[in-house]
Amino acid sequence: MHDATQRIMDRVIQLDSNQTEFIQAVTSFLNSVDKLVDDIPQLIYHKVLDRIVEPERAIIFRVPWVDDDGQMQLNRAFRVQMNSALGPYKGGMRFHPSVNLSILKFLAFEQTFKNSLTGLALGGGKGGSDFNPKGKSDGEVMRFCQSLMIELGRHIGEDTDVPAGDIGVGGREIGYMYGQYKRLYNKSVGILTGKHPSFGGSYIRPEATGYGLVYLSAAMLDAEGKNLQDKSCLVSGSGNVAQFTTEKLLKMGAKVLTMSDSSGVLIDPSGIDEEKLAFIKTLKNVRRGRIAEYAQKYKEATYIAHNGSATSNPLWDVKADYAFPCATQNEINTEDAKHLVANGIQLVGEGANMPTTLDAEQILMDNGVLLAPGKASNAGGVAVSGLEMVQNSQRLQWTPAQVDAQLLTIMKNIYSNISSAAEKYSTKNNFVDGANIAGFIKISDAMLAQGYV
């Protein structure tokens, strides 16, 4: 690493030594943009790199709420407003016990470059809480969301910061938060995306991250003379991204063999077809059940409970053509990467944010596996969120076909941009470098133009 970029890396480690996820994200980013330092010296002279790794603002606050037994509960919540060079902060809210400042800073950092790749006027941010909606009643979730918005509402706005959903935050939670914002501020404006279409939401928004992942992966494969037709695929997770990744893969003729949740892994050698996917959607979205029930209903499937001491995930040791990690960060480690390579995986398309560790990432690329990095491949969700903001500003609602067509165009443009950046500044098909560099150049140009802010 160049002396200048190493200095920045050392400073991040010194200031945030306990923030492992954030350090990982910055390391990956600096490894890529290190290639630009000699060609674009103003990045160092004007300390663009120093500034871009530091959030513009990080807000931490408590959220008191009352459970169904009348007992007061307390959670911690955050909003990290990372970078507004290109537009209002944009990024989801995550409700999960694992949420902390390191995870949200890494997500906000990744979001900044992801948003820039969409071509829309969006800055980067992320937020959330260690509140766990699993096992909570609708009333408890509503009271928590309303309490959270009392504080969050003063920090967001349609031209300032526009949150969306993420893990643990779907249409239900977005609706409760939006309703409370209207109640507090007496305004019906687009301060949240992911709303139901009946009150300002965009069609295709729930599907967008999964669909976009498949669109970008298909573009990468097409450039190599390959496609998805009749190819076997591994998908991890069983939430929104995994469901709609599977749906779009099926529509494009692929066969999906796996899904998972926090309790274990599902392997179905006969394939998860449309009927089985409909069962999973009802199981996870309506009943909020566990993926193990799938194997009870469909006897051809195998369910493997997670082993807390295991060094690898059995899902990534299934022979297939392509893999789509859609669960959470760092779910593919070095052992998993070795299994993927040994089993002939030709492409890994990241549906989750940073689902591959740095070492695993290198193993995949060294062995010729096409790697679609999350900041590019899962940008479809925020792209349609940006389109939802446009519709809200115009007081219009586009048809599903109109939104889907724009999503496809955006994802194809992202592929073109990251591919060109990889060839110009790094090596062909190094899409990790391509995504980091293409996103960074756009943001750095805006930061230089706007002065030392």
Structure tokens at 37: 């330092």
Nearest C-alpha neighbor of 33 from the set 350, 441, 451: 441
Would you say 388 and 372 are in contact if contact means Cβ atoms under 8 Å apart?
Answer: no
How far is it, in rounded angstroms, from Cα 149 to Cα 147? Answer: 5
> Of the residues 35, 90, 105, 126, which is catalytic?
126
How far is it, in rounded angstroms, from Cα 102 to Cα 180? Answer: 28
Name the packing angle between helices 400-425 and 431-450 (round to 10°): 100
Report the C-alpha dihedral over residues 333, 336, 337, 343, rounded to 10 degrees: -170
Has 35 been annotated as catalytic? no
How far is it, in rounded angstroms, from Cα 179 to Cα 393? Answer: 18
Nearest C-alpha neighbor of 265 from the set 223, 301, 217: 301
Catalytic machinery residues? 126
